[in-house]
Amino acid sequence: MADDGDVAGLGKARATAFLAPALLLISVFLVFPALWTLYLGVTNFRLSGSAARNPKFVGLDNYINALSDDRFLNSLGLTIVFVFASAVVGQSVLGFSIAWTMTRVRKPVRAVVEFFVLLAWIIPSSVTTFLWYALLDRSNGTLNAMLSTGHMAWLLQYPLQSIIVFNTWVGTAFSMLLFSSALASVPPSQMESARMVGAGTWAQLRDVVFPHIRGHALTNTLLITLWTFNTFTPYLLTAGGPDDRSNILPIFIYRLALNDGALGQGAAISLIMIVINLVIATVYLRLLKERKS
Amino acid sequence: MTAEQRGATPAREGRNMLGHFLGLMGKTVFTALVLAFFVIPVLWLVFAPFDAHPSLNVKLPEFTFNNFKVLLANPNAIGSLGNSLILALGSMVLVLVLGSLASYSLSRVRIPGRDVLLYTLLLLSSIITGTAAMVPTFLLMVKLGLIDSQFGVILVLSGGILPTVIFILKDFMDSTPKSYEESARLYGARPLRILWDVVIPLARPGLATIAVWAVVQVWGNFLVPYILLRSPSKSPAAVVMYTFYTEGGQPNLALISAFSLLFSVPVIAMYFFVNRRYGFRFHGGIKS
């Protein structure tokens, strides 16, 4: 009894009772919805009408429809471009470059830069989207004034590019923080000896820094991929338009299921999303476990 | 060979100087570009709230506090900030209470399958996100009669963040010294009393981190209240902000600018307060 860590004399029964409320909440509001998606996805459930009262079993129709639906395939393609460009490339590369540059500037400069990068991440998303809406506005936007691009309607002309830059702006802070702490773990002596033998910046990065932070880079990529894949925020900037040109999966599901009422079809696509999430998260957790042991 | 070597030293030095100069230039230009990219979009939030005639572009304000008067006179706007507070504090209290109980019990008692449970919870919370589960969550709330209920929103949001809370709090609970609990027990204190009087005070930094994290998560959340609440009078700031239009159908910039600032300041302040006090640079990283 003494060495199992149960110093307060909780006992198994009471420990279970302490655990139960939390597990109940998680089961009802997190696990159950996910399991229910399995069922909903094989029905023709709708928000209203007869299919709302008596949903019928339709087998794999929703999945077959989705996979042969141009709007779904378009959305999937856009999502892949969005995640790759804004997370894997945008946030990682920018975050690393900032972290790397900030190790070699004066402290106040570093503090100011980090403050503003973090700010973009902390400000509530409804506000950041409005800030970007103002920045990119056609007639009064600051960007047009700065670039003298006349009345360029960025959000209509380049919707996907706009949300990619926006999401890079919002999320770079995480990569910056993660790579800052990763760079701090690179032994200074190794950097010093690389410099002594006359290695340039690129050689230092390739031979000393990258081998040390490979694990961090992978962790970073998986996490931001997962978050970017699941972000709904671009909805507030472009609402998926114009003509579905920024209709990434979360927005596609929202419009299909909750606007048009096709809940069964929406659930099928939700499940596809959950499965993709599962693949990314499983790889991540496996890495985490490997590093711990 | 020797002549070449003699000549090489100044040349190499020159190249080093040039390299150093280019490095400095590159560093400076890059830093300036990064600052421009991150600062310019935010400038509007700094100037427009104090501008007598706010427009969408960034300009130095004709200074006034009038926009805040407009905000205070708008019951909808003030009410929505109150609603955000209710959702944020409600979820915070719920996850702190349930999370402390659960993580304490997981930390002190070896329940069979504990590690598997912890990892499963963490896995579930990262794959069943608000976006991926919006359809079944919406339907569940319809069936439970919890549409347009703030309590319903608190339950859904808490369910989503509780696994992460338990995971992090368990780490904190593991690292609190156990000797106090033993002596409290010798004096006959009951487990719940020990948790409340001994463990909670010891785990305060961890709890503070989690509290702030939970508030930040919920305060800015748009999607869940957007799909689960119907009445504007119950909706939080994140949702209501997009209903501020003038009679002419234009965004009401006086109201939106002041409102945006008031809506952003609490989370910014909390983030930097906790960051300074407890140095949670890294736990802050689990924003989704």
CA distances from B115 to B74, B121, B170 (A): 51, 10, 11
Residue A23 lies in a domain: no
Confirm or reject contact between A23 and chain B (CB < 8 A).
yes
Q: What's the CATH number where A136 sits?
A: 1.10.3720.10
The reported pLDDT for the residue numbered B11 is: 64
The reported pLDDT for the residue numbered A246 is: 94
Q: Which of A48-57, A129-138, A179-188 tops mean pLDDT?
A: A129-138
Band (B4; pLDDT cuts 50, 70, 90): very low
Residue B57 lies in a domain: no
Residue B45 lies in a domain: yes
The verdict on a CB contact (< 8 Å) between A22 and B138 is no
- Which chain A residues have a beta carbon less than 8 Å from that of B194? 8
Among A281, A216, A123, A163, smallest CA distance to B132 is for: A281
The verdict on a CB contact (< 8 Å) between B34 and A19 is no
Residue A272 lies in a domain: yes
Residue B62 lies in a domain: no
Residues B112 and B206 in one domain: yes
Give the residue on A whose Cα is nearest the Cα of B175. A5
Q: Which residues contact A227 (CB under 8 A, 6 or more apart)?
A: A87, A171, B288
- Which chain A residues have a beta carbon less than 8 Å from that of B41? 120, 128, 131-132, 135, 169
Domain end (from B15, B34, B50)? B50
Residues B159 and B270 in one domain: yes
Q: What is d(CA A264, CA A54) in angstroms, rounded to the nearest whole number? A: 12
Residues B268 and B147 in one domain: yes
CB B216 within 8 A of CB B272: no
Mean pLDDT score of chain A, rounded to an integer?
88
From chain A residues 238-277, the ones with a CB under 8 A of any chain B CB are 250, 253-254, 257-258, 263, 266-267, 270, 273-274, 277
Q: Which residues contact A10 (CB under 8 A, 6 or more apart)?
A: A18, B105, B108, B109, B191
Q: What is d(CA A57, CA A272) in angstroms, rounded to the nearest whole number? A: 19
Confirm or reject contact between A127 and chain B (CB < 8 A).
yes
Residue B242 lies in a domain: yes
Give the residue on A whose Cα is nearest the Cα of B58. A142
Residue A146 lies in a domain: yes
The verdict on a CB contact (< 8 Å) between A36 and B130 is no
Q: Is the peptide bond before A250 cis (omega within 30 degrees of 0)?
A: no
Among A39, A73, A42, A72, smallest CA distance to A60 is for: A42
CB A112 within 8 A of CB A102: no
Residues B38 and B134 in one domain: no
- Which one of B105, B124, B238 has the shortest CB-CB distance to A30? B124
CB A78 within 8 A of CB A246: yes
Residues B211 and B254 in one domain: yes
Q: What is d(CA A245, CA A15) in angstroms, rounded to the nearest whole number? A: 52
The verdict on a CB contact (< 8 Å) between A29 and B159 is yes
Q: Which of A53-67, A92-106, B20-34, B236-250 tops mean pLDDT?
A: A92-106
Q: Which of A33-42, A157-166, A254-263, B108-117 tops mean pLDDT?
A: A157-166
Confirm or reject contact between A41 and chain B (CB < 8 A).
no
The nearest CA of chain B is from the CA of A101 a distance in Å of 7
Res. B6: pLDDT tops 50: no
Residue A40 lies in a domain: no
DSSP string, B53-120: S--SS-----B-SHHHHHHHT-HHHHHHHHHHHHHHHHHHHHHHHHHHHHHHHHHHS--TTHHHHHHH
- Structural domain of B218: 74-286
CA B45 to chain centre: 19
Give the residue on B whose Cα is nearest the Cα of A120. B38
- Which one of B23, B41, B223 has the shortest CB-CB distance to A135? B41
Three-state DSSP class for residue B130: coil
Band (B10; pLDDT cuts 50, 70, 90): low
Res. B5: pLDDT tops 60: no
pLDDT tens, residue by residue, A232-256: 999 999 998 899 999 999 999 999 9
Place of tokens 């600032």: B261
Hey, which residues does B1 pair with through a beta bridge? none
Band (B3; pLDDT cuts 50, 70, 90): very low
| Structural tokens at position B65 | 């506090």
Residue B256: other Cβ atoms inside 10 A = 24
The reported pLDDT for the residue numbered A85 is: 96
Band (A2; pLDDT cuts 50, 70, 90): very low
- Which chain B residues have a beta carbon less than 8 Å from that of A265? none
CB B130 within 8 A of CB A284: no
Confirm or reject contact between A197 and chain B (CB < 8 A).
no
Three-state DSSP class for residue A260: coil
Res. A62: pLDDT tops 50: yes
Residue A21 lies in a domain: no
CB B211 within 8 A of CB B92: yes
Q: What is d(CA B186, CA B122) in angstroms, rounded to the nearest whole number? A: 36
- Which chain A residues have a beta carbon less than 8 Å from that of B134? 253-254, 257-258, 270
Residues B46 and B176 in one domain: no
Residues B149 and B204 in one domain: yes
- Structural domain of A246: 62-292
Band (A129; pLDDT cuts 50, 70, 90): very high
- Which chain B residues have a beta carbon less than 8 Å from that of A118? 271
pLDDT tens, residue by residue, B131-157: 889 999 999 999 999 999 999 999 999
pLDDT tens, residue by residue, B275-288: 776 654 443 333 33
DSSP string, B202-243: HTHHHHHHHHHHHHHHHHT--HHHHHH---GGG--HHHHGGG
Specify the number of domains making up chain B.
Answer: 2
Residue B68 lies in a domain: no
Q: For an interface test with B, which of A98, A148, A232, A290 has the most B Cβ atoms less than 10 Å from its Cβ?
A: A232
Residue A10 lies in a domain: no
Minimum mean pLDDT among A62-76, A131-145, A187-201, B217-231: which range? A187-201
Mean pLDDT of A275-282: 90
Query: What is the phi-psi region of residue A242: left when phi exceeds 0, alpha when psi lies from -120 to 50, beta otherwise?
Result: beta
Q: What's the CATH number where B279 sits?
A: 1.10.3720.10
- Which one of A101, A112, A285 has the shortest CB-CB distance to B27? A101
Q: Which residues contact B179 (CB under 8 A, 6 or more apart)?
A: A7
Residue A190 lies in a domain: yes
Mean pLDDT of B225-246: 90
- Which one of B38, B220, B227 has the shortest CB-CB distance to A124? B220
CB A253 within 8 A of CB A266: yes
| Structural tokens at position A33 | 């919805």
The verdict on a CB contact (< 8 Å) between A135 and B40 is yes
ipTM of the complex: 0.88
Per cent of chain A over pLDDT 90 is: 48
Mean pLDDT of B85-113: 92
Residues B143 and B110 in one domain: yes
Residues B44 and B95 in one domain: no
Place of tokens 């109940």: A24
Band (B260; pLDDT cuts 50, 70, 90): very high
Q: What is d(CA B210, CA A276) in angstroms, rounded to the nearest whole number? A: 28
Mean pLDDT score of chain B, rounded to an integer?
85
Res. B242: pLDDT tops 80: yes
Residues B135 and B278 in one domain: yes
From chain B residues 41-100, the ones with a CB under 8 A of any chain A CB are 41-45, 55-58, 94, 98-99
From chain A residues 68-97, the ones with a CB under 8 A of any chain B CB are 94, 97
Residues B43 and B154 in one domain: no
The verdict on a CB contact (< 8 Å) between A126 and B58 is no
The reported pLDDT for the residue numbered B95 is: 96
Phi, psi at A128, each rounded to 5°: -60, -40
CB B221 within 8 A of CB A126: no
Residue B204 lies in a domain: yes
Hey, which residues does B51 pair with through a beta bridge? B63
Specify the number of domains making up chain A.
Answer: 1
Minimum mean pLDDT among A76-80, A243-247, B252-256: which range? B252-256
Hey, which residues does B178 pair with through a beta bridge? none
Confirm or reject contact between B106 and chain A (CB < 8 A).
yes
Among A236, A137, A163, A233, smallest CA distance to B58 is for: A137
Residue B65 lies in a domain: no
Confirm or reject contact between B158 and chain A (CB < 8 A).
yes
Beta-carbon pairs below 8 A across chains A and B: 285
Residue A205 lies in a domain: yes
Mean pLDDT of B249-263: 89
Res. A285: pLDDT tops 80: no
Residues B151 and B43 in one domain: no
